Structures are given as C-alpha cells and as structure tokens.
Structure 1
C-alpha cells in the first residue's frame, strides 16, 4: 500500500541527510551536487561500502596476523599478501555492483513500495523488536537457501559461486575474502534483506545498517578463528564450509543448518582428528 506523500518525503529527506554526511565530508560539492538523487545515493553507498571493507579488513588483519601473530592463527595458516591482494581485487571489481542493491532498496522505500517506516516512534519499541526479529529470521532463512542453491544448482556454482570458493584452505582465507565474490553472487546472497522489506514492517535506518554490516560480518567469518559462541555461525563453522562445500551454509546462526541437516560442528571435527 502506498504511503502518503508527506511520509515518503521524510524517507527522501533521510537518505539526503546520509548523502550529505558522506559526500560533503569526502568530496567537493561540485562533483556530486549535479547528480540525480539516485546516483548520489549510489555514490554514497559505494564510498561507504568501500571504506567499511578496507577499514574492517585492514584492522582485523593487523590484529590477528601481526599484533597477535601465532596466537589465533598458526604461522603456516596466514595467507600471503598476494592472496589477500587478489581478494581485494575481486571485491573491488564487484563493489560498484554490490552497492546498487542498497541504492535500489532505498529507491523502492522512498516510493512507498515496501513496508518500511521512518521512525521507531511510529510503532513503538516493542513492535520494533518484534518486527526486527521477524526480519532477521526471514533473512537467515533466505540467505541459507540462496547460498545452498548456489552450490546445488551446478551452473550457478560454476559461473558464480566458484569465484569465491577458490579460497578453500586456511592459508588462503582472510577477512578480505569476505566480499570476494562474483558481483551477481554477492547480490543474490544479500537479496533476502530486500525481499524482507515487502513482507515485514522494517525500520529504514536499521535495514541500511544491517545491509552494510554484512561487510563486517563476512570479514569476521573468513578469519578461520573459531569463536565458540553458541549458536553463532562463526568462522570455525564457515571454514568447514570452505573445505567440505556441503555443510554450514547458514549466515548468523547455526539454526538453519541444524533444521535442514547440513550442520557440521568444528569442535566435533577437531575431536575426531585428535581421536
């Protein structure tokens, strides 16, 4: 159902505010002011996504590979600089396309095509938390099945997902591998975030934050460090996914893999090796 014009204006003002924060801080106004609203949004998302990728990746690599060298990751499991540069190259080729997705979702939100709302006060904190929970459950379910089908449907794996799965050992995985996908693969795995907007009333800013936090989360699950925080689908689980290709398709939690019998526990694996 279409929202009234005044309410939609609030959403446009919100995206314009975010555009101004990023673009005014980093670029001369003459570079971006003449652009249409849609392209300003894409440029802001591109710059924001790129900065988030590099800042999270470099800080995490600095911490685990240098400041805590041999503490979390054995020396022979640290990826080479060449491997990480290749991952950065693949991610940067895809970044302009990745950031089209949040830009398109903002466009649909601004036009009243989704169930998004602007202010938490519109519905209250209790309903906000209920809707957020429903949103996250849907995203978890959607990403699980999208990821699984990218493996099970052979052309999708061959032409899309295989680009990411060349990183299949500890010494080839790094935080920079988190966004090293074929552009369409990365978009498909994030699409559940957007589909959810048509099904669940969602706070606009929360949606944008969660979409961009994917960059931080994927950096974390590719560092090969098993955090042992149940029921989080952390790097210990995801490293198994990169070595067996048939387990641990889940995103934030282990629940979907547990429900659909694809879960493989890193601690059980370690126990079998020791046994």
Structure 2
C-alpha cells in the first residue's frame, strides 16, 4: 500500500506544504505577490527563495570564517580562492537555481498526489521504523548519487556538455564553498534525482525528505572547502578535493562506502602520488 494514497494523507501533505509556503513567502514577500498564485508555483517560489537564501547565507558565512576570521588556520594563505573565482561560482549557481528547485517542487507535487511511499507524521510508524527507513533511504541516495556522478565522468558527452562546467574549479585556489552548487542545471538535477527515486522505494517522512534535499546545499559547500575533516567514514573535503584533481576517484557523496565497494576510493592521508598542496 502506498503511504500517501488516501485522501486524508494527501490533505495532510498539502496542509504541510501550505504551512511552509506561508512561512517562507510571508517572510520575504508581501502577500499580494504570491497569495493568488497556483499552489505549485507557490511551492516552487518558496523552494527557490529558500534555496537562494540557504546557498548565499551559508556560503558567505562559511567563507568569512575560513578565509578571513580563521585565516591561515584551515587553509594556507596562498591557497585561498580569489573573489573573482567565487563570484563566478555564485553566478553559475544562481543561473541554475530556478531549475534546481523544480525537482523538490515536483517531488512535493507527486507526494501530494499520493503517488509515493511518503508518510506525513513520524507517529504513523514509530521512531524505530522511521530510523530504519531513513537509513535505507540514505543508502539508496548514496548509491544513486555515486553512479550518477560516476557516469557524468564516464559518458563523454555528459562530461563535455554538463559536468565539465563544475570541473573548471579543480585547485584549492579556485575551489570554495560556493563551488558546491556551481553546476549546469541538468547536471545538478541528475545528481539529485536519487532523492526523488527513493520516494517510490522506501517509506520516508515528508519533512525529512524535503530537509535532506536542502541540506545538500550545506553538504556540497562542506566538501568543496578543501578542509580535510578526517572523520571516517565521511566523504569529507579532503577526499573530494582528490576527486577534483584526479577525476577518477571519490565519486561518493556522504560516505566512502560506494567508492570502497566499487574500487574508486583514494585516501588523502595514504596516497602520496598527488602533492599535498594543490593550489
């Protein structure tokens, strides 16, 4: 049985999205600019504003801390990216943001229509089942993003026309938290589709699903800041910086699991073929 198939469940999803729309849109825009829009467009506008706000605020705060407030503590002075590089990354991300935010908007539409295994309340299944389903969901996402990312490298037209835009930034003095969303729009969507696919495979809490999509912005900022966190088995920035210098390793997203399973893992603390300082 689909968790969201009953009319009661559908109404609960719509009620929740309306609540989020009122919070975000009501905070940033006067009511006359959004209240009469169709529900789908209200949701897209909310996701767009929320995505832009999260990307810019987190990015500027992140860069302020690691490049200015804690200057030379995390990154050598001559490896700090230029303002021009960061501005270019922001421009690429801003052009793609309207398209990025169509995916969570469409996923919410499908959920509200009752076509997924989403459930609206954790109490519907209990905390132990919620945690178990969440772990399965994250495993599906990890597997999907790994292979989407890997194929964007292996399939030459996909790399040439889509993913190469992101790989302009391949050294510490060009990589920054702002590079995390500096993709061709279709590239970014392809790498986020596993979140959507998982909705049809495993029961997942509605708000958790939406939150995880937007947490992608924070995570991608983290893995592009060139600071090696050394927290096993997390796919931190040290691993992802290697991906930007070799192109053939560390395709994973949150963890090292898929790279370990499929033979593409390269450890920045063990492999010494690449120079430690790549700026």
Residues 15-68 of structure 1: CA distance to partner in whole angstroms, max 9, x if unpaired?
A: 000000001111000000110000000000000000000111001100000011
The match for 2:92 is 90
SS at match of 2:74: coil
SS at match of 2:234: coil
120, 123, 127: which one aligns with 2:122: 120
1:7 Cα deviation from its structure 2 partner = 1.5
In structure 2, C-alpha distance between the alignment counterparts of 1:264 and 1:254, rounded to whole Å: 9
1:269 Cα deviation from its structure 2 partner = 2.7
185, 201, 218: which one aligns with 1:216: 218
In structure 2, C-alpha distance between the alignment counterparts of 1:65 and 1:4, rounded to whole Å: 51
- Aligned pairs for 1:20-39 (under 5 A) are 20-39=22-41
The match for 2:67 is 65
Change beyond 3 A, Cα 1:273–1:4 = closer
In structure 1, C-alpha distance between the alignment counterparts of 2:246 and 2:45, rounded to whole Å: 38
Q: Which runs of 5+ in 1 are unaligned?
A: none
1:270 Cα deviation from its structure 2 partner = 4.6
1:273 Cα deviation from its structure 2 partner = 5.4
TM-score by length of 2: 0.96
**RMSD after superposition:** 1.1
Greater CA drift, 111-120 or 261-270: 261-270
Change beyond 3 A, Cα 1:103–1:273 = closer
In structure 2, C-alpha distance between the alignment counterparts of 1:226 and 1:39, rounded to whole Å: 40
The match for 2:143 is 141
The match for 1:249 is 251
6, 10, 13: which one aligns with 2:12: 10
In structure 2, C-alpha distance between the alignment counterparts of 1:273 and 1:84, rounded to whole Å: 24
Matched, 1:167 2:169: yes
Runs of 4+ in 1 over 4 A off after TM superposition: 270-274
Number of equivalenced pairs? 274
The match for 1:81 is 83
The match for 2:181 is 179
In structure 2, C-alpha distance between the alignment counterparts of 1:163 and 1:186, rounded to whole Å: 11
The match for 1:104 is 106
Residues 151-205 of structure 1: CA distance to partner in whole angstroms, max 9, x if unpaired?
A: 0000000000000000011100000000000000000000000000000000000
SS at match of 2:12: helix
- Aligned pairs for 1:182-193 (under 5 A) are 182-193=184-195
TM-score by length of 1: 0.98
